[in-house]
Amino acid sequence: MMLLRPILSRLETKVGKHVIRREVEAFANNRQTLDLGCGRSPNAGAFPNRVGMDIEPGRGVHVIADAHYLPFAANSFQQIVCSEVLEHLADPAQAAREMGRVVNDGGQLFLTTPFVYPVHEAPYDYQRFTVYGLTRLFDLAGFQIRQIKPLFDEEQTLAILIQRIAFQRQDSRLRHYFYLLLAHLIYGLAAEAKGQRYQHVNRRVAGPFMTAGYLLVAQKTGNGEH
């Protein structure tokens, strides 16, 4: 069992987690940043001039507040980072308006959010947004969408869902590690094959039709409903 311990420990690593972090860190800069819903502050290194805000105390949390009522003056920040938070907000439209209020004109929003993903952190898991829902939500809040892209393809999404079975369901150790192994195998094969898909000219939807999450990049225009 001692020999297996490093392997079993590696199987517990969340597939896909590095993708979300890599995508956010790709926008690293020194601008004045609101790290909204920062949790344990995984983005601190990428955004040194950040104000970490969360609903509860934690490492790298500077301000404890509710995302629906941000305790900052208008135009306080040059950009906002909001990673894996939107699904936990009871009134996302109100939170989006608040984001639009505290970021200055021309300021940017970098946001990631799950889509095909199980209920988590219950009971504070309220919704999932399609591309069209995200576009409407932030358009009404005064942002112009620059990019919305799926972070995972169908097979990677399947791997993430299988891994969640292992993490969230009470099973025998054998079943638990079977699902973890299966998830890593599928995710690895999907990563190898990525780029060889979506070339059929008759596809109705470009890119993945099922994804575990999205990255949204938007810029404040100042034309939202306040």
**87 neighbors 195 (Cβ within 8 angstroms):** no
Tell me what the mean pLDDT of segment 192-210 comes to: 57
Taking 60 as the threshold, does the pLDDT of residue 202 lie above it? Answer: no
pLDDT recorded at residue 50: 98
Rounded Cα distance, 105 and 45, in Å: 25
pLDDT tens readout for residues 175-200: 999 999 999 999 998 876 665 554 44
pLDDT recorded at residue 208: 81
**19 neighbors 188 (Cβ within 8 angstroms):** no
* pLDDT interval class at 10 (50, 70, 90): confident
* pLDDT interval class at 203 (50, 70, 90): very low
Does the predicted model carry a pTM greater than 0.85?
yes
Instruction: Kindly report which listed range (85-94, 95-104, 136-145, 197-206) carries the lowest average pLDDT score.
Output: 197-206
CB atoms < 10 A from the CB of 224, how many? 17
List Cβ neighbours of 36 (8 Å cut-off, separation of 6 or more): 53, 67, 70, 80, 81, 82, 85, 99
What value does the mean pLDDT of the chain take?
91
Question: Which one, of 205, 144, 141, 166, lies nearest residue 13 by Cα?
Answer: 166
pLDDT recorded at residue 195: 52
pLDDT recorded at residue 223: 66
* pLDDT interval class at 201 (50, 70, 90): very low
In the chain, where the domains are located:
5-152+204-220, 155-193
Taking 70 as the threshold, does the pLDDT of residue 63 lie above it? Answer: yes
225 or 104, which is more confident?
104
What is the CATH topology of the domain spanning 5-152+204-220?
A: Rossmann fold (3.40.50)
pLDDT recorded at residue 190: 86
pLDDT recorded at residue 204: 45
pLDDT recorded at residue 194: 61
Q: What percent of the chain has pLDDT over 70?
A: 89
